[in-house]
């Protein structure tokens, strides 16, 4: 393998990882931007997405069916959770949100264990994506290219959604001044439910995308939630663009770090986070904390 | 007068069902099974429970042992040594068990064995891998019917010696198990006169293995030894398949089981390694066992289900020979027990209570009509080559 081929394939690997991390990070940061709460259950929604995806493939026989069903069901569950439980807590301090969403993580984990069993579940990728292409004579999975593409498309769609649509406008406005939006006659409670649902739906779709690569398993939630927090802290809490940059940074550091310094693969990610926190306490694009 | 009354009483007592059952020797043989049903080892423990329950049902249907039915008392240890000791104490002291199965993890077994003499109980292990249990931590009331960890590694090294692969790389999870196993493997590769080109360790919970796959590819190795388990194992195999790593490199693992194969499906095809038991062993005993198992559970028996069944049969042979479950009578009978097992002939050894048995190398293949790929036996090594010398964990040659 020559150096150029190595560089290109590693960059593509990093891009595909960044896409997965972005699905998680951007949902978490949207939720934080609007509600000022840290959704500890974000990893559990990611895991739920993978399991719902498995069931959808089982029922419909199609991976594409799973890509549609999972975000709707997971997002719907998230919105329902916001309306049923979180909404009652808005007057309280941040700790109660942490406790409630952490509790939700445990309950979702147990529920998944009961419903789907302890064994990891394999999600077949569609035949059209399971092949390889040769990039500079090196085999590369088509699925990873597809994943990187899906990440880019999703980022563009969300950006346009936030900039061009009325709901997007309301979301941006609410994140800046919720009381003013409320005073102007918009039901801020609905905006919050919608954002929580969208954020969880994005995590769910990330779970479906991840499932063919890592299988649907009970270990997904804790692993995912840590990476996601790192991304959001690096990018700046509440910043959409920040979550994109954070995902890219973490993915590239993980891929190249684990190649050149395998013994410090994990340390690098935290080192970057620490450095950024020291230089810019609010994250790269966040408001100063 | 007094004599007459006593005889009447005795007759009356003998006619009552309770005493009748005693007279026919039908008090159940109680076997305690503290086993990890939940927690990280829960999958293995559940297999062990299935294996023992299957045997108990089959044996009871055939009239039990010595005419007595078998009663299993299963307790969940969660895989924690302290809990395991407590649960074992419970089944011995409260339920009156003098025979034990279970103790899924070696750490649990090592915590329990020092108590066996005090309890006057016999423990027949079906899955504990730690070599010390029949070595430095040996106690007279412990018996191991299964293949131990050192025996598993031995099978792989014997296979390497006769195989044609020459250059090896290794990937392991970054904790004690990964480093130890790869250390042993590295020595074996060198002893076989082959080349070890490098190793790398992935943090527990790694999701993206693309970099590690690149490293394996770049190393130029013909075989890669894997020490991965659970989610990490499933993620690696799925992604290795995506990169077509198996086309260039033979993937080798220390234990091939159906559970891991089911998690990744076709991505497991081509994987080779040692196994303690596999449903495709072809002998009349095993074929009958697999057929009966499929009728009961509608699935093939997995590694620890087969191993547990063998351990049960070993204990049964001992009890039938001793005609008792008393530890002092059962121990000598078990020390010379020989059974025609589902794995072929298996003989207990008196010197360290390790069962001498053959080892298998399997390769995962796709069979027409089967939903999942299955492990097929590539080669078998006889018990005298696989089993270490008495109370030893290493091999001289």
Tell whether the model's pLDDT for residue B189 goes beyond 50: yes
Tell whether the model's pLDDT for residue B19 goes beyond 50: no
Q: Are B100 and B91 in contact (CB under 8 A)?
A: yes
Cα separation, A220 vs A40, in Å, equals 14
Cα separation, B90 vs B96, in Å, equals 9
Mean pLDDT, all residues of chain A: 91
- Token pair of B163 as six digits: 């195989």
CA atoms within 13 A on the CB side of B291: 7
pLDDT in tens, A196-237: 999 999 999 999 999 999 889 888 888 888 889 999 999 998
- Token pair of B252 as six digits: 């080798």
Q: Cβ of A210 under 8 Å from any chain B Cβ?
A: yes
Structure confidence at residue A212 (pLDDT): 93
Q: Is residue A162 part of a domain?
A: yes
Q: Cβ of A114 under 8 Å from any chain B Cβ?
A: no
Tell whether the model's pLDDT for residue B16 goes beyond 60: no
By residue range, what is the domain housing residue A128?
13-219
pLDDT in tens, A109-162: 989 988 998 778 889 888 899 899 999 888 999 999 999 999 999 999 999 999
Per the structure, the count of domains in chain A is: 1
- Token pair of B214 as six digits: 């690149």
Interface contact B210-A6, CB threshold 8 A: no
Tell whether the model's pLDDT for residue B2 goes beyond 50: no
Q: Are B48 and B102 in contact (CB under 8 A)?
A: yes
Q: Is residue A242 part of a domain?
A: no
Class of domain B22-147+282-357: alpha beta
Give the chain A residue whose CA is nearest to the CA of B209.
A255
Which of A125, A216, A247, A265 would best serve as a mutation to test chain B binding (most B beta carbons within 10 A)?
Answer: A265
Q: Cβ of A122 under 8 Å from any chain B Cβ?
A: yes
Q: Is residue A2 part of a domain?
A: no
Structure confidence at residue B15 (pLDDT): 45
Which of A123, A143, A214 would best serve as a mutation to test chain B binding (most B beta carbons within 10 A)?
Answer: A214
Give percent of chain B with pLDDT exceeding 90: 70
Tell whether the model's pLDDT for residue A186 goes beyond 70: yes
pTM of the model: 0.80
| CA distances to B147, B155, B350 from B254, in Å | 12, 9, 28
Cα separation, B70 vs B48, in Å, equals 16
Closest Cα of chain B to A238: distance in Å? 26
Q: Are B210 and A14 in contact (CB under 8 A)?
A: no
Q: Give chain B positions within 8 Å (CB) of A228.
A: none
Interface contact B203-A17, CB threshold 8 A: no
Which of B210, B218, B266 would best serve as a mutation to test chain A binding (most A beta carbons within 10 A)?
Answer: B210
In this complex, the residue of A17, A119, A219 whose CB is nearest that of residue B262 is A119
Strands, sheet with B70-76, edge to edge from the N-terminal-most edge strand: B70-76, B29-35, B99-100, B122-125, B142-144
Cα separation, B308 vs B287, in Å, equals 16
- B25 band by pLDDT with thresholds 50, 70 and 90: low
Interface contact A219-B202, CB threshold 8 A: no
Question: Domain B151-275+360-386 is classified in which CATH homologous superfamily?
Answer: Response regulator (3.40.50.2300)
Domain ranges of chain B: 22-147+282-357, 151-275+360-386
Interface contact A143-B215, CB threshold 8 A: no
């Amino acid at each position: 393998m020559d150096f150029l081929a190595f560089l290109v394939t590693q960059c593509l690997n990093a891009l595909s990882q960044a896409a997965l991390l972005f699905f998680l990070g951007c949902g978490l940061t949207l939720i934080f931007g609007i509600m000022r709460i840290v959704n500890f259950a974000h990893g559990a929604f990611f895991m739920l997405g993978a399991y719902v995806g498995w069931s959808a493939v089982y029922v419909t026989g199609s991976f594409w069916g799973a890509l549609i069903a999972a975000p709707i069901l997971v997002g719907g569950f998230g919105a329902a959770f916001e309306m049923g439980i979180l909404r009652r807590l808005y007057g309280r301090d941040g700790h109660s949100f942490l406790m409630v969403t952490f509790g939700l993580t445990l309950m979702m984990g147990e529920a998944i264990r009961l419903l789907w069993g302890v064994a990891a579940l394999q999600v077949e990728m569609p035949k059209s994506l399971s092949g390889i292409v040769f990039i500079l004579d090196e085999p590369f999975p088509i699925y990873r290219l597809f994943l990187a593409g899906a990440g880019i498309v999703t980022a563009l769609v969300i950006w346009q959604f936030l900039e061009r649509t009325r709901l997007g406008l309301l979301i941006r406005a609410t994140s800046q001044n919720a009381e003013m939006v409320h005073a102007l006659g918009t039901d801020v409670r609905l905006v919050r439910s919608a954002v929580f649902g969208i954020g969880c739906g994005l995590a769910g779709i990330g779970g479906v995308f991840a499932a063919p690569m890592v299988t649907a398993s009970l270990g997904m939630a804790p692993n995912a939630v840590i990476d996601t927090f790192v991304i959001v802290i690096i990018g700046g809490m509440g910043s959409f663009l920040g979550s994109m940059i954070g995902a890219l940074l973490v993915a590239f550091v993980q891929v190249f770090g684990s190649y050149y310094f395998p013994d410090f693969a994990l340390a690098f990610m935290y080192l970057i986070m620490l450095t950024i926190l020291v230089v810019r306490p609010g994250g790269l694009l966040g408001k100063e904390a | 007068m007094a004599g007459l009354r006593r005889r009447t009483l005795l007759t009356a007592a003998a006619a009552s069902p309770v005493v009748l059952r005693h007279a026919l020797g039908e008090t159940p043989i109680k076997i305690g099974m503290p086993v990890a049903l939940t927690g990280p080892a829960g999958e293995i423990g559940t297999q062990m429970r299935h294996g023992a329950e299957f045997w108990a049902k089959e044996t009871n249907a055939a009239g039990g042992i010595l005419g007595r039915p078998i009663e299993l008392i299963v307790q969940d240890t969660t895989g924690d040594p302290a809990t395991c000791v407590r649960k074992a104490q419970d089944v011995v002291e409260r339920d009156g068990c003098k025979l034990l199965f279970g103790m899924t993890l070696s750490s649990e077994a090592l915590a329990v064995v020092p108590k066996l003499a005090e309890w006057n109980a016999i423990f027949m292990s079906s899955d504990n891998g730690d070599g010390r249990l029949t070595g430095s931590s040996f106690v007279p009331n412990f018996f191991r019917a299964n293949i131990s960890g050192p025996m598993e590694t031995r099978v792989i090294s014997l296979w390497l010696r006769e195989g044609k692969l020459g250059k090896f790389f290794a990937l392991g999870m970054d904790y004690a198990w990964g480093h130890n196993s790869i250390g042993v493997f590295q020595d074996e590769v060198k002893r076989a006169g082959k080349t070890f080109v490098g190793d790398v360790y992935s943090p527990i919970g790694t999701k993206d293995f693309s970099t590690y796959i690149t490293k394996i590819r770049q190393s130029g190795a013909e075989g890669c030894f894997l020490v991965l388990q659970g989610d990490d194992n499933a993620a690696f195999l799925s992604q290795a398949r995506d990169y077509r790593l198996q086309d260039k490199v033979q993937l080798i693992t220390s234990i091939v089981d159906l559970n891991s194969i089911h998690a990744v499906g076709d991505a497991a095809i081509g994987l080779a390694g040692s196994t303690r038991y596999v449903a495709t062993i072809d002998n009349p005993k095993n074929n009958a066992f697999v057929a009966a198992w499929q009728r009961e559970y509608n699935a093939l028996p997995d590694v620890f289900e087969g191993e547990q069944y063998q351990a049960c049969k070993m204990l049964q042979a001992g009890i039938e020979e001793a005609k008792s479950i008393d530890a002092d009578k059962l121990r000598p009978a078990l020390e010379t027990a020989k059974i025609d097992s589902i794995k072929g002939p298996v003989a207990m050894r008196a010197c360290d209570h390790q069962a001498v048995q053959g080892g298998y190398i399997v390769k995962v293949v796709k069979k027409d009509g089967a939903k999942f790929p299955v492990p097929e036996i590539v080669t078998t090594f006889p018990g005298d080559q696989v089993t270490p010398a008495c109370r030893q964990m290493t091999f001289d040659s």
